[in-house]
Amino acid sequence: MKKPYDRKLILEDGTEYYGYAFGDGEDKVTEIVFNTSPVGYQEILSDPSYTYQTVVMSYPLIGNYGINSDDFETQTPTIGGFAVREYNDFPSNWRSEKTLSEVMKEYKIPGIYGIDTRKLVRSIRDYGSRRCLLTGMETTAEDGVKIISRAPILTDAVAKVSRKKITEYPADGEIKIVAIDCGMKQNIVRSLNRRGVSVTVVPFDTSSEAIESLKPDGIFISNGPGDPTDAVPVINAIKDLKGKYPIFGICLGHQIISLAYGAKTYKLKFGHRGGNHPVKNLATGKIEITSQNHSYAVEAGSLKNTPLTVTHVNLLDGTIEGIECKKDKIFSVQYHPESAPGPQDSSYLFDKFINIIKENKNA
């Protein structure tokens, strides 16, 4: 006999999806988005870029390999929630230390399983990302819509996830960079350390003067959540620092660089989230299979009055995936070269950054 539903997801238009609870049981209003990756739910769970968002996993089976302590992108997950088709609470993996539900309870992250995720993903694709409520069965659709409409739209996502103090990650090489933490994934630090680069990670609101006092060889701007125009301290810092140091940005960092040069950004209908987005490198003609997670993109027309040139484009929708200003030794991409969907299609970008730094030091 089928057990009765004990959890529901209500969209802001009143649509309801019935299912079962896992993780934390609190009610929560978030933005609903979807991810098409078949693996990597732990990295998604712990990616700060999902702050205030409930992620619908299009792959049907989630939780089957558990959670381990090595693969967290941040030690304090801030994702809004998970919505999945089938949740496995008995993982089979020699690295597994806890179940997904146990970790979600620990960090007060609600979840729902048993819903028709194909229908929900199509709804998001057709009608765009919207706000939703994860709640109990006693909440009516009408009450749910009222709760959603009364919930404030939060704009402090970067401030919420950025670290509060400077952190050092030394390596054996001669290059030292400052990384501005807008919600930085830990694998970015590992990718740079492996190349002999020492990384000093600073809070997002660190001033340009404070960054210069650290005497970096280069500056990195990380990924992060929310609307890039909300990250005013970072935008202002890059306005001051551009042209003085080699600078590399990814994801939110890509958008921040564009804004610092006077370009504009806009919100996509449902964003890019997955591990199979094809991106064309315009210089080489090569296609990279990339990992992506973002809601905003750079407006192509707004680049005309800037010194930035487009280096990469998304082959699915033509959006800008990379920009560069060679004169200022600055470049960025919209995707995640520290991830491995290709599996190593985009790792050359870290090497490019290091080579620009070396050339600048030897100039």
Residues 238 and 118 in one domain: no
Same domain for 138 and 165: no
Q: How far, in Å, CA of 126 to CA of 104, rounded?
A: 29
Calculate mean pLDDT across residues 111-126: 98
pLDDT at 2: 80
pLDDT tens digits, 295-308 = 999 999 999 999 99
Q: Is the pLDDT assigned to residue 339 strictly greater than 90? A: no
Domain boundary among 150, 177, 208: 150
Q: Where residue 249 sits, what CATH number does that domain have?
A: 3.40.50.880
Which residues, in sequence order, are CB contacts of 58 under 8 Å at separation 6+? 34, 35, 36, 117, 118, 121
Is pLDDT of 148 > 90?
yes
Domain that holds residue 211: 157-362
Residue ending a domain, choose from 119, 150, 181:
150
Q: What is the mean pLDDT of residues 336-354?
A: 87
Q: How many structural domains compose the chain? A: 2
Please tell me whether residues 162 and 224 are part of one structural domain: yes
pLDDT digits (tens, 9 = 90+) for 209-229: 999 999 999 999 999 999 999
pLDDT at position 342, please?
A: 65
Distances (CA, A) of 2 to 5, 19, 60, 111: 9, 12, 19, 19
**Tens digits of per-residue pLDDT, 181-209?**
999 999 999 999 999 999 999 999 999 99
Band of pLDDT at residue 167, cut at 50, 70 and 90: very high
Q: What is the CATH number of the domain that holds 59?
A: 3.50.30.20
Evaluate if residue 94 carries a pLDDT over 70.
yes
The whole-number pLDDT of residue 363 equals 75
Q: Is residue 167 part of a domain?
A: yes
Across the range 71-81, mean pLDDT stands at 94
Task: Please compute the mean of the pLDDT values over residues 337-354 and round it to a whole number.
Answer: 87
Percent of the chain with pLDDT over 70: 99
pLDDT at 344 (0 to 100)? 81
Say whether both 208 and 342 belong to one domain.
yes
The answer on 188 and 140 residing in a single domain is no
Span 274-299, mean pLDDT?
96
Asked if residue 286 belongs to a domain, the reply is yes
Same-domain check for residues 146 and 170? no
Q: Are residues 34 and 167 in the same domain?
A: no
Any domain includes 241 = yes
Evaluate whether residue 2 is within a structural domain: no
Query: Does 62 reside within a domain?
Result: yes
HEC-encoded secondary structure of the chain = CCCCCCEEEEECCCCEEEEEEEEECCCEEEEEEEECCCCCHHHHHCCHHHECEEEEECCCEECCCCECCCCCCCCCCCECEEEECEECCCCCCCCCCECHHHHHHHCCCEEEECCCHHHHHHHHHHHCCEEEEEECCCCCHHHHHHHHHHCCCCCCHHHHHCCCCCEEECCCCCEEEEEEECCCCHHHHHHHHCCCEEEEEEECCCCHHHHHHCCCCEEEECCCCCCHHHCHHHHHHHHHHECCECEEEECHHHHHHHHHCCCCEEEEEEEEEEEEEEEEECCCCCEEEEEEEEEEEECHHHHCCCCCEEEEEECCCCCEEEEEECCCCEEEECCCCCCCCCCCCCCHHHHHHHHHHHHHHHC
In a domain, 1, yes or no: no
Domain end: 127, 150, 173, which one? 150
Q: What is the mean pLDDT of the chain?
A: 96
pLDDT digits (tens, 9 = 90+) for 30-67: 999 999 999 999 999 999 999 999 999 999 999 999 99
For residues 173 and 114, membership in a common domain is answered with no
Looking at the structure, tell me whether residues 138 and 205 fall in a common domain.
no
pLDDT score at 340: 72
The pLDDT-based confidence of 313 (bands split at 50, 70, 90) is: very high
Phi and psi angles of residue 348, each rounded to the nearest 5 degrees, phi first:
-60, -20
Does residue 259 share a domain with residue 131?
no
Per the domain annotation, does 208 fall within a domain?
A: yes
Residues with a catalytic annotation lie at: 251, 336, 338
**Do 180 and 314 have their domain in common?**
yes
- Give the pLDDT of residue 6: 97
- Which pLDDT band holds residue 231 (cuts at 50, 70, 90)? very high
210/338 same-domain check: yes
Question: Residue 99: how many CA atoms within 13 Å on its side-chain side?
Answer: 13
